[in-house]
Chains A and B, each alone.
Chain A
Amino acid sequence: MTIFDLDFMRYALVAAVMVGLTAPAVGTFIVQRRLALLGDGIGHVALTGVALGFLTGTAPVATAVVVAALGAVAIEMVRARGKTSGDVALALLFYGGLAGGVMIIYLTPGESTASLNSYLFGAITSVDATDLWVIAGLAVAVLALLAVFGRELFVLCQDEEVARASGLPVRFLGLLIAVIASVTVVVAMRAVGLLLVSALMVVPVATSQQLTRSFRTTMALSMVFGVLATVGGLTSSFYLDVPSGATIVLLALAGFAVALGIGRFVRRSRTGESTA
């Protein structure tokens, strides 16, 4: 029996491809903006959203998207004010989001923190046909927005002041990238869980950076690495019977270690050539 014989595995594989493509694409801009931990911040806030879903009896994914987007906008506004640096703003949300989630789930009758487990650590094999449509729709929207606004986002993430002096709508673009990131986090939540979500946004980017020189190829290659990690991780977790989220992230990290070695080697031989 192969994994393609099982409906739930087919769904899971398609979801894995979607997540593997979008998370690193968004991640490239976020790392460029030096907000690598933004995904983590949003992930923690999304937990409050998930718990709210349980409390109010609505779909946790829907409440997670709303709360995560609000959290991301809050981070962006605190950061743009300039009084608090980005990382401190993020840290505040980490704590608030996690504490809020735990508290709300405790207050919800019939639920306990165990109910949060599949959201914390991912449950990609629980994706059904409806979920898949939602995930695919969101992923396509995210990629389309990045394609349309990519050039402006590049300038924004490279140098906000220059973006302003070029007449770009800096506040709008800042909120746009924040909202795109939060949608991505919630999409990726199904695959790797909120605690590991940011890994898919950052690790493939860090991996491809070892091998590339340009922004464009870094982004393209990180998407390739992202898909390799999610699909590879999902497949091996199925055969090895281990948790999928952790497998995906560990695979991505292994890829980083290999790229680090290759990158060192390539750079050394390159400088060796030029000095010789």
Chain B
Amino acid sequence: MSTAFDMTAGQVTIDGRKILRGIDLTVDDGEVVAVLGANGSGKSTLVRSLLGVQPLSGGSTLLYGRPPARFREWWRIGYVPQRLSVGGGVPATVREVVASGRIARQRRGRFTSSADRQAVVAALNEVGLSDRAGDPVSSLSGGQQQRVLIARALAGEPDAFVLDEPTAGVDAGSQKMLAETLSGLVGRGKTVVLVAHELGPLEPLISRAVVLNQGCKVHDGAPPTAVGAHALPGHDHVHPHEPEPAESGLPSWVLAQEKA
């Protein structure tokens, strides 16, 4: 078994502010890791630095054993960024945006192959947007645009998916669809790192949860059992006289959250 992501003492400093403080995180092939934490706790920064999109100010990170700057097999990575809308000042169709997910597999100056086209059709089917393929992305709702971004990552047929809040603004039905898609991927041995606020229907898929609080990793292990509004960090639930986390049965991050 190889290791997809391997961060050692990862630190990110932006404008003198420490955003990530010494994160150690290893994600093996085939793992499904959820990154949880309150708004601003550094979840997006963590996944962006795992990909080398956000440079580290300290520590190191490896993608399939290589530092991002020397990594060459980018087709193995599918990234869904946290976006409010699919940007760009010129109209682009859903199909065009999804097809751009093939870029890491395409050679410069070559025409689109039939494998490219098939992957795009399959990805559009998977997220249920085949009938909107010819529409401009800007004409889609926020949740539908989120599905376009997921389809773009699917189209690249990567080994590892990094999804930053893929369920934000996506309705219950589509969340179920995403859960089915993900479980299909997991069944085929794909690696998934996903940032989420509410795991919802994704919960049964998660093999491990990492919880961040103010840039520190405060939990790494079994996913919190009662994942719902109750157990999520950021939830104002006060346990004033809780003893040691290990004995309380509560994950330690709940306490860390309360102390913060």
Smallest Cβ distance from A220 to chain B, in angstroms? Answer: 12
Contacts A152-B103, A158-B100, A165-B53 hold; do A36 and B90 have CB atoms under 8 A apart? no
Residues 86 to 138 of chain B near chain A (Cβ within 8 Å): 86-93, 95-97, 100, 103-104, 106, 108-109, 134-136
Give the distance in Å from the alpha carbon of A165 to the alpha carbon of B5 in the complex.
Answer: 14
> What residues of A have a CB within 8 angstroms of the CB of B100 in the complex?
151, 154-155, 158, 162
Q: Do B92 and A161 touch (CB < 8 A)?
A: no
> What residues of B have a CB within 8 angstroms of the CB of A213 in the complex?
91, 93, 134-136
Give the distance in Å from the alpha carbon of A34 to the alpha carbon of B89 in the complex.
Answer: 6
Of A25-33, A45-53, A70-78, which stretch is located at the interface? A25-33
**Residue B77 lies at the interface, judged by CB distance under 8 Å to chain A:** yes
> What residues of B have a CB within 8 angstroms of the CB of A212 in the complex?
91
Q: Interface 1/0s, chain B 60-97, versus A by CB < 8 A?
A: 00000000000110110101010100111111110111
**Residue A218 lies at the interface, judged by CB distance under 8 Å to chain B:** yes
Give the distance in Å from the alpha carbon of A205 to the alpha carbon of B91 in the complex.
Answer: 10
Q: Do A162 and B72 touch (CB < 8 A)?
A: no
> What residues of B have a CB within 8 angstroms of the CB of A31 in the complex?
89-90
Q: Do A148 and B108 touch (CB < 8 A)?
A: yes
Residues 124 to 156 of chain B near chain A (Cβ within 8 Å): 134-136, 152, 156
**Residue A157 lies at the interface, judged by CB distance under 8 Å to chain B:** yes
Give the distance in Å from the alpha carbon of A164 to the alpha carbon of B97 in the complex.
Answer: 16
* Residue from B77, B89, B95, B97 having most chain A Cβ neighbours under 10 A: B89
Give the distance in Å from the alpha carbon of A258 to the alpha carbon of B108 in the complex.
Answer: 38
Contacts A161-B81, A167-B71 hold; do A215 and B48 have CB atoms under 8 A apart? no
**Residue A111 lies at the interface, judged by CB distance under 8 Å to chain B:** no
Give the distance in Å from the alpha carbon of A31 to the alpha carbon of B106 in the complex.
Answer: 25
Residue of B whose beta carbon sits closest to that of A147: B109
Q: Do B87 and A159 touch (CB < 8 A)?
A: yes
**Residue B52 lies at the interface, judged by CB distance under 8 Å to chain A:** yes
Contacts A151-B106, A165-B53, A165-B77 hold; do A158 and B91 have CB atoms under 8 A apart? no
**Residue A264 lies at the interface, judged by CB distance under 8 Å to chain B:** no
**Residue B51 lies at the interface, judged by CB distance under 8 Å to chain A:** yes
Smallest Cβ distance from A115 to chain B, in angstroms? Answer: 36
**Residue A214 lies at the interface, judged by CB distance under 8 Å to chain B:** yes
**Residue A91 lies at the interface, judged by CB distance under 8 Å to chain B:** no
Give the distance in Å from the alpha carbon of A36 to the alpha carbon of B123 in the complex.
Answer: 32
Q: Do A214 and B103 touch (CB < 8 A)?
A: no
Q: Do B96 and A155 touch (CB < 8 A)?
A: no
Q: Ordered nearest first, which 6 A-B pairs have the shortest CB separation?
A: A167-B74, A165-B79, A32-B90, A215-B92, A214-B93, A31-B89
Q: A152-B103, A159-B87, A164-B52 are in contact. List 7 more A-B contacts (CB 8 A).
A: A31-B89, A148-B108, A152-B108, A166-B74, A166-B79, A168-B104, A214-B134
27 CB contacts below 8 A, A to B, read A28-B90, A31-B89, A32-B92, A34-B87, A34-B88, A34-B89, A148-B109, A152-B108, A155-B103, A158-B100, A161-B53, A162-B79, A165-B53, A165-B77, A165-B79, A166-B77, A166-B103, A167-B71, A167-B72, A209-B90, A213-B134, A214-B91, A214-B92, A214-B136, A215-B96, A218-B90, A218-B91
